[in-house]
């Protein structure tokens, strides 16, 4: 593996899952792998889990991790080729990224979408400019359209739980839209769809209100319905997430609390486990009664972020040897 931006960087999802679960059982198995190596974690946006789990993962591999909150502490970066920098941006990525590439062996970057210009966001210009100019492996800590470390974690968590069920039947996995007060990126939903489709070991259903279609490039292969109750029937895993509109980009059309998952709705499921990437707005996006119940996998899921990150860093270190 040379970079970790999307599922297309991964030759074998199940091999990564097994490696992650092996690290969970034995966190320091490769404590020398990253000795004398340095990882830079660049945040253009806030984070709790991604930042800390990647730091812990790096430490488990013997790496030094340095966090740089670019949005608060760095110069305002320009990403546009040929830009006349007479506005607010101070340093071009062409100048900054090669320097970061000299300081670090691996660069990890979080850069959210603007939700104003779909073409620009979906071109993934920011992360591609880092890749172009850094000269070292780049890991997405969530980009404009995808969140691959989260999605790897999600499959690890599903596999970890499903093997305790001792069944050979494919799990039914439902991604359901949920209400929210702010327009959120489509990244987590896009990425989850991309990974579950590529994994191919589940019956995958996406349910959302009308006009909340995600980009087909990510959802192709999934069954899509506006009927949440029908989608939840016999579900083994329900992944809850809000996203703003894709077609009329970055809008909130719908905020009906009827879309929030409840115990009552889950009665039609196969005693489903409920997942969410966090942070979650309680009693808006997901009810207390679900989050505080035995249905919820969210804490286990967030804990598994460490093993996903550790696996990806180890793969990059091993590829570079
Ligand atoms: N799920 C996730 O990426 O969490 P953070 O935004 O806290 O990193």
Q: Is 2 a member of any domain? A: no
User: Looking at residues 54-65, what average pLDDT do you find?
Assistant: 98
So what's the pLDDT on residue 138? 98
Region 113-134: mean pLDDT is 97
What ipTM was reported for this prediction?
0.99
Please indicate, yes or no, whether residues 122 and 64 belong to a single structural domain of this protein: yes
* Environment class of 119 (CB within 10 Å of its CB; exposed 0-12, middle 13-18, buried 19+): exposed
Q: How confident is the model at residue 111 (pLDDT cuts 50, 70, 90)?
A: very high
The mean predicted confidence, pLDDT, of the chain is 97
CA 87–ligand 1 middle distance (angstroms): 31
Nearest atom (ligand 1) to Cα of 141: 3
Whether 184 is in a domain gets the answer: yes
CATH code (residue 44) = 3.40.50.1370
- pLDDT given at position 30: 98
Domain residues for 240? 148-302
The answer, yes or no, to whether any atom of ligand 1 lies below 6 A from the CB of 85, is: no
Same domain, 253 and 206: yes
pTM confidence score: 0.98
Detail the residues annotated as belonging to a binding site for carbamoyl phosphate.
47-50, 75, 110, 147-150, 277-278, 305
* 146 contacts 190 by C-beta, under 8 angstroms: yes
pLDDT tens digit sequence for 281-293: 999 999 999 999 9
Ligand 1 centre to CA of 127 (Å) is 18
Ligand 1 centroid to 184 CA: how many Å?
13
Could you tell me if the CB of 230 is within 6 A of ligand 1? no
1 located within any domain? no
Q: Is residue 179 part of a domain?
A: yes
Quick one: 49 and 182 in the same domain? no
> Is the CB of 305 within 6 Å of ligand 1?
no
The structural domain count of the chain equals 2
Confidence of residue 320 (pLDDT cuts 50, 70, 90): confident
Ligand 1 lined by 150 (C-beta under 6 Å):
yes
Residue 251 lies in a domain: yes
């Amino acid at each position: 593996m040379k970079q970790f931006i999307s599922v297309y960087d991964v030759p074998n999802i199940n091999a990564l899952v097994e490696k992650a679960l092996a690290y969970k059982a034995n966190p320091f198995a490769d404590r020398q792998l990253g000795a004398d190596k340095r990882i830079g974690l660049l945040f253009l946006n806030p984070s709790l889990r991604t930042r800390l789990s990647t730091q812990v993962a790096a430490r488990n591999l013997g790496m030094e991790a340095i966090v740089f909150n670019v949005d608060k502490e760095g110069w305002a970066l320009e990403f546009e080729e040929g830009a006349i920098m007479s506005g607010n941006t101070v340093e071009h990525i062409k100048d900054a990224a090669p320097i970061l590439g000299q300081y670090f062996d691996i660069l990890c970057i979080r850069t959210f979408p603007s939700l104003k210009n779909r073409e620009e966001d979906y071109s993934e210009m920011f992360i591609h400019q880092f890749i172009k100019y850094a000269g070292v492996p780049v890991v997405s800590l969530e980009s404009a359209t995808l969140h691959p470390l989260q999605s790897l974690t999600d499959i690890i968590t599903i596999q970890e739980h499903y093997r305790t069920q001792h069944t050979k039947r494919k799990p039914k996995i439902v991604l359901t839209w949920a209400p929210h007060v702010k327009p959120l990126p489509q990244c987590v939903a896009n990425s989850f769809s991309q990974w579950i489709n590529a994994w191919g070991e589940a019956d995958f259903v996406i349910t959302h209100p009308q006009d909340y279609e995600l980009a087909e490039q990510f959802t192709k292969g999934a069954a899509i319905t506006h009927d949440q109750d029908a989608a939840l029937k016999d579900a083994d895993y329900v992944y809850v997430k809000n996203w703003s509109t894709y077609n009329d980009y970055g809008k909130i059309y719908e905020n009906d609390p009827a879309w929030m998952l409840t115990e009552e709705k889950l009665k039609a499921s196969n005693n489903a486990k409920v997942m969410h990437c966090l942070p979650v707005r309680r009693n808006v996006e997901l009810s207390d009664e679900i989050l505080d119940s035995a249905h919820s996998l969210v804490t286990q899921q967030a804990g598994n972020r460490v093993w996903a990150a550790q696996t990806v860093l180890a793969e990059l270190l091993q590829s570079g040897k």
